[in-house]
Structure 1
């Protein structure tokens, strides 16, 4: 085992060399600079010295010269260990000083161990006279100095270029946190001139409490992050600061990056506000829906109890007109409440864009003219209704009934906004590329009133479901929400323009179409078709019983199943014909579309009619059904159900039928 003196100013280099030499079975002593190494060499007289070439104060060549000049240490073998010189650059001068070998720091560990073994078996030989060695030393050092200066200039130019275009601020300085450099981006972020950011000026980028703590505690030993809002010349900004100590043996300074994250923080805050507002809207929506449905349920439950009591009291008596009339009135109240609930459900589906629609090519001017005729004599004599119809306003693909509903809702709102009378105008015109919609040709409908107008806070919430400024009982707050849902479902947009004292204009934009107007079709009647067989599938017992009763009273033979799988088994077992299938959409075990697909293999000619209160699984777009799909909406009336079944029996396969 040999004793090796390792001389290097960098601790990491000494550690790497120690690990390699320890693995080779050698004993290592360390020195951080030349004078310390000379003293250790005199004291311990190591077997080999492994010295770095470039060191502060005394480089490796000067160290070897002094080592050779001392008779006590002149014969100690020396290896030079370098990362700055190539071995072929260092070897001539190294040989002149009697250095056994020059080893690159990037060399394989085995090469270093081999060089140590070589040095242990050689006697140093000084090849040049002292003055010649000094001249060669000076030449080698100067050449390397020029090379390093040029490399440093290139590195500094590259750093300056990177720092100048950096998207984050950069600051560097000493261990006392005094900045000696700041890049242009930091000046942009802070709005300060670079000179004001030197010293402790850059600490203005930290929140005051964090800056005070940093001044008090000094440079942290490890990377540290700071985040907060600060007041700068550029205003209130959110900054993210990362502080990194620069260490080598001892701390020599720091580097910090300052990132302006104001836009990100504000976007996150806005998103949190949007989420909170969305939850608030949902809470208001659910509360309003619960309120309305609870009222309706209260009517249904109470009047059904009244009817039950009346029927019990009438048992054993003759049911004449006076006795039956209160019962019929109670049943009528239940029926009206049910219709209110159905209307409310349809409005909610429309607002959400999930109501089944029947889009056809319609001429907008015709719809507006028809609506004017409907409202002119019902909206109130104090309101003057006028139209301004542009003949260039063409055709759109929309549900005519729903568009009429939108215009009527807007007319009612306009009337309520003009309690003392005024003018209501419905206008049309062609439009191109309206804001917020895909580029193209559109038809513009404007509904203008001379009412009081809306302040900004009301205008912002005007289309929220159940939001209303009308007095209690004056409206549900679903009119504008429903209108907005209908127009959006037709791929259009509804925009409200209003100012206090200047009235309100509602702008509707619908995509224009070049498709031809469809021919008029004869209305479908609920004709009774005795002798036909219909298979009914619905997992809701009450709905299934209603459908079965309606069909049987109309003369149909009815097969009943509680789910899709049971209906499929019935279709396979039934020996006779099944002329139509009436199926719910969502059922356990097998849903309606799956049942229809399975029936194509069993009874391919049998049409399927769906009944559903929420037909989204059947939709190919907002409210649009696949071609040939027939849906009767729940809750349905006797006539609606019979009309849908009759249509399926009389319409050629593949033709679209939609009933709701």
Structure 2
């Protein structure tokens, strides 16, 4: 028994209260108590919390023990109530006990208090336990009855002889039998006469073996209606291991059987379809395979049915991942439509336009997947040719116009440079260096032409992980070297730009189309801006953009300061064959092709334009948030001047490596593992510390809270925050902290030193 008590003391005397508490503590109790001496105070105490026992003085100036007892009884609480009095007669004691008090004693004989309390608290707890058990049992029985009455399955129970002892109401609806006829062996009357003997033999065998039973069979109701059911039964045993009977369910599967029958009846009609039609269960096992599927995939129906679709139709990890994503979409939306790369029996790659529909059973539970696929392999091949033609349209005026003449110019330059080196091997070092410069420049020019021509030829590649930085830099170089000089090309790419999964050739085409359009929009010159950053699409943003989904994207912006687009045609710019260019200058397929490519990559495009001010095209491509890993060029790193830096991070390794790095570059370092330590060190060395480098996520006092406390100590303190959870582009949320810089973990030595050097200025 617990030796802790919550005691409600109804007493006007503090001295008597202390005597009562002292006696209880002598009895080994730890106490929480409240003393009240008015009805209002007692009522508040009863409503505020629960109590183990109430001890009341019989007579008080404004309140009596009997009145306190009546107040307690109005709350209907099973709370032991002991009356304590200085003097109490036998008649009063009898009246108190009749009124409902559990015990009474004199203040002059408090030695009885502890035994009385122990007895009454113990009995009260036992009463509550019995009440709780009885109530739980009653509630369990009620829940069971409610469950059985409302269950979507018929539920039955038998004795050890196989006689029905219980049926829920749904059984009577399914079988058509009354409650009386369903008990005993009467349930067998509902079985169809043609199947009755077989079902009973199967049941008798199961009952004798005391095992589980699963069987599908027909019922024939008294109204002459045939119903298909699936019956399941499991054995029940007593705690001693004796067989008691079976409990089971009966599911009406008539609609499923009828639906399956209709599917098979319609199979002949489906076989004349040119599309491949198949049905798979939720584990990807093929259930149905029409003649169109045989023609497309080269697998005969008897070969395909029963096989796993993933094993015979997909041979790449990317295709399997996409298929599993489709199944997730099906579970959510019930349907999916899109393109899939598959293989036929001989391993030939094919592309299909596929429509998937989730099929439900009669209880609205997912059962199978209907798949209708159209072969678009030739269409995709023609589309590839069309995309190559569009690439030539984007670069035709650039590459076609300069490649031939440029190569003609570079060929003799390169040849002469090499020939002179051969003919004059004894040239001095200065002249040799000049020839090397000449040869290197010629080779770089030739490489540029090869790059443009290679892209123009449209070499196709499979989708792979792409570092967008390379594509963007390549496009920017082409623009800088080939666009008119009065167009200023500016590039701004986030250093931590995420990678994307896609076709680099197609994405290169999209970017070239957008920059060429930007060039054409600035016939009198202007600024072409190419930028890229990481972007997170939230739910609200996704609701406002049809093609957007919640998640991470790499966002590319191509903007110009040109003529802009009129509002009345802005909604039509992505329509096929719509163009504002002069005849012969464009087909009007460039932007529609770009939109198609971006959508096929799971991305989307937005446009903002003002007439006379220019246009801004934003391309969003889904990303897995993997940061590009470019090898940085050797650069001269800034050195410190002996400044003292306070590094605060709960990761000891980060503190240590940061300290070593800063020490190696002429800084002095103090380290702290949490906010409290940082505040203590800063208060001690406030005059010497030049900057605080602090992590945002720490146990105890976190980074933002520590920063605010540091700024209270010294409003001019210089702070650089760092975090492994906050992307570099998200540091705007820390601007209200008035910090001097932000580092996104992991950071390089170059970024660390440059950030600290900049913050110290």
Verify same fold: TM over 0.5. no
- Structure with greater contact order relative to length (CA < 8 Å, sep ≥ 6): 1
Q: Greater Rg, structure 1 or structure 2? A: 1
